[in-house]
């Protein structure tokens, strides 16, 4: 399912004056846990982060905008992209197909930008297989099943049958929490958002991502120490 061409994604950007590789921030959660809101706030406050817009065959919700929240396409078009290597990852969720177009990711990462992926656990595991060193993964949990149900009801965008199916599927989704680097219980949106920001900041400063660090330290050690005047 995953595409091996991700091995070529070795981007660089600026962290202060030191070049670094970009990273791929993968966020997953069951529907209603707050992942999409956190992702939206992150994109608002982090100018060096760009959203990877997925393709999907499901119907567009009233609050969603085509090409901004998803690329809404037919099942036939999805199959063509999948079968010709045009997807970084793909999965079938709640009876619909979702996938990540490969070409926009390649362009953004080659320019040294960090990419945000709002995807389910199936897509995340596919990405782990092909680009694990460049991925920072976060799983968002709800504080309780009752609160998860209430959030889906308050959203008022799905039929009762769809909500029931999402709640049933959420148990299987949450069983994969331990496969992620970080896990956040979203009982307070602002606090959870701050925790995600802290993770992103720390991961950008990791030594193995700062490709220009060796050159910087070598130059630093070669510098003369000025005499006191």
Are 60 and 86 in contact by the 8 Å Cβ rule? The answer is no
Is 110 or 69 the better-scoring residue by pLDDT? 69
Domain membership of residue 15 (yes or no) is yes
Do the domain assignments include residue 76? Answer: no
Residue 38 has pLDDT above 50, yes or no: yes
CATH number of residue 156's parent domain = 3.40.50.300
Each residue's pLDDT tens digit, 159-169: 888 888 888 88
Domain-embedded: residue 220: no
Check if the beta carbon of residue 90 is closer than 8 Å to that of residue 1: yes
Structural domain contains residue 119: yes
Tokens of 2: 């995953």
Q: What's the pLDDT band for 17 if we cut at 50, 70, 90?
A: low
- Please state, in angstroms and as integers, the Cα–Cα distance from residue 60 to each residue in 69, 91, 168, 207, 229, following that order: 9, 18, 22, 42, 70
Residue 141 counted as domain residue: yes
Find the mean pLDDT for residues 133-152: 91
Residue 60 falls within a domain, yes or no? no
Number of folded domains in the chain? Answer: 1
What domain range is 172 assigned to? 4-52+113-207
For residue 128, being part of any structural domain is answered with yes
Over residues 170-197, the mean pLDDT reads: 95
Is 224 domain-assigned?
no
Q: How confident is the model at residue 1 (pLDDT cuts 50, 70, 90)?
A: very low
Q: How far is CA 211 from CA 58, 77, 95, 111, 217, in A?
A: 41, 39, 42, 15, 11
How far is it, in rounded angstroms, from Cα 55 to Cα 223? 52
Distant-in-sequence, close-in-space partners of 220: CB < 8 Å, separation ≥ 6? none
User: Mean pLDDT across the stretch 64-91?
Assistant: 91
Give the pLDDT of residue 61: 86
């Amino acid at each position: 399912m995953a595409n091996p061409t991700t091995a070529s994604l070795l981007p660089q950007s600026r962290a202060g004056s030191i070049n670094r590789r970009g990273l791929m921030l993968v966020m997953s959660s069951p529907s209603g846990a707050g992942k999409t809101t956190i992702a939206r706030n992150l994109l608002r406050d982090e100018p060096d982060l760009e959203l990877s817009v997925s393709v999907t065959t499901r119907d567009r919700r009233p609050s969603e905008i085509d090409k901004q929240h998803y690329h809404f396409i037919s099942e036939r078009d999805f199959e063509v992209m999948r079968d010709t290597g045009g997807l970084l990852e793909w999965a079938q969720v709640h009876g619909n197909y979702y996938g990540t177009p490969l070409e926009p990711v390649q362009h953004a990462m080659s320019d040294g930008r960090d990419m945000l992926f709002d995807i389910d656990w199936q897509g995340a595991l596919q990405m782990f297989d092909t680009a694990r060193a460049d991925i920072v993964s976060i799983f968002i949990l709800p504080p309780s099943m009752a609160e998860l149900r209430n959030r889906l009801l308050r959203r008022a965008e799905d039929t009762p049958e769809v909500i029931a199916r999402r709640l049933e599927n959420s148990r299987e989704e949450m069983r994969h929490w331990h496969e992620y680097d970080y896990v956040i219980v979203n009982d307070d949106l602002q606090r959870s958002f701050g925790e995600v920001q802290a993770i992103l900041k720390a991961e950008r400063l990791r030594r193995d991502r700062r490709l220009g660090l060796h050159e910087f330290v070598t130059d630093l050690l070669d510098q003369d120490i000025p005499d006191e005047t």
